[in-house]
Each structure stands twice: as C-alpha cells, then as structure tokens.
C-alpha cells in the first residue's frame, strides 16, 4: 500500500478544519512534487522528440485520442459516484469524487489535486470525509428477461435427429404390432 494511503486511512477521524499536518504529510507532499518534476521532464523530452519527428507526434496524438475514447466509455451513473470533502496539503478544503466502491478518495488514485483556492498543483490529500453519493440509486425495476437460449451446434442437432428417428421407429413398430 502507498505510504500516503496508509498514513491517511489509519488516522482517527479529525474535522478537516482542525487537521494539523504531520511529518508523513510533509514527506508525501515532497515525494509528490519530486514525481511531478520527473514527469514534467519526461514530457518535455517527449515533446522535443515529437517536434523533431512528425510521425511520432501523429502516433502520440492517435494514442491520446484512443485513450480519450476509452475513458469516455467508462462513464458511471451519478448514483455510483461518491463525493468527498478533502483537505489538501496547502490547507484548503475542496470536493472530489470517486467511484463508490473505493473506501476513500486516495485508494481511487487521487493522491493529490490542483487546489482551486490557491491554484497550486499536486497538493496531496492529507485528510478526507465522505459527503455522499451524487444522487440516490434508482428504484429497482423488473429483472431483465433471461437471455434467449443459445443456438444448438450441428452435433447437437444430429444427436436430436437420431433420437427422433429412433422414437419414430419405436412408434411405427408399436402401431404395426
């Protein structure tokens, strides 16, 4: 488990407004900043390579387009989205969301956020509390009809024909005898 997840998820509940940063919070924020800087450098290097190679730039554009389409296909219904109040490292409290199956916003991959109050990037989440689902789940409706039976295979049909032929012979013999 990620250290920041452990640090936050094992703490007793403290009102977000009264929360005080711990050494673990400072360490997690520093680690997040170092990771962000490393990623920024990698992106700059890749951008330079793409400027030098139009074919590479086109492949990257296509890959991003494919990822965007894939992400759009994963849209979840409002009743599946849990809302959270989170306190960021900078001290501001904002709202975030995650799928309801996650027990906290950090385990969903949201270790940090851009703060909408001060504009600082990659502010780690140091504390959180659930607000609730975006909306109530819809009332249960009738269960969907069962799927239609699968089509029999050729072998299934041949076995059935043999069975019916035997039954036909038996009935003919019974009528004539």
Tens of pLDDT, residue by residue over 67-118, are 998 888 887 888 899 999 999 999 999 999 998 999 888 888 777 788 888 9
d(Cα 18, Cα 50) in Å, to the nearest integer? 47
- pLDDT of 6 > 50? The answer is no
Give the C-alpha distances (Å, rounded to integers) separating 148 from 83, 152, 160, 161, 170: 39, 12, 20, 22, 33
Tens of pLDDT, residue by residue over 36-67, are 899 999 999 999 999 999 999 999 999 999 99
What pLDDT score does 5 carry? 47
pTM, two decimals, is: 0.61
- pLDDT of 140 > 80? The answer is no
What pLDDT score does 48 carry? 94
């Amino acid at each position: 488990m990620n250290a920041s997840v452990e640090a936050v998820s094992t703490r007793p509940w403290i009102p977000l407004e009264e929360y005080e940063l711990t050494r673990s919070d400072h360490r997690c924020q520093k680690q997040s900043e170092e990771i962000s800087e490393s990623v920024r450098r990698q992106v700059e290097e890749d951008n330079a390579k793409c400027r030098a190679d139009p074919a590479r730039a086109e492949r990257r554009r296509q890959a991003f387009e494919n990822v965007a389409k894939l992400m759009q296909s994963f849209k979840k219904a409002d009743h599946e989205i849990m809302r959270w109040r989170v306190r960021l490292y900078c001290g501001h409290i904002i709202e975030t969301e995650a799928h309801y199956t996650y027990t906290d916003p950090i385990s969903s991959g949201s270790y940090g956020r851009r703060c909408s109050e001060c504009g600082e990037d990659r502010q780690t989440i140091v504390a959180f509390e659930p607000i609730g689902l975006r909306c109530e789940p819809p009332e249960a409706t009738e269960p969907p009809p069962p799927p239609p039976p699968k089509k029999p295979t050729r072998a299934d049909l041949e076995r059935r024909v043999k069975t019916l032929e035997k039954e036909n012979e038996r009935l003919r013999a019974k009528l004539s005898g």
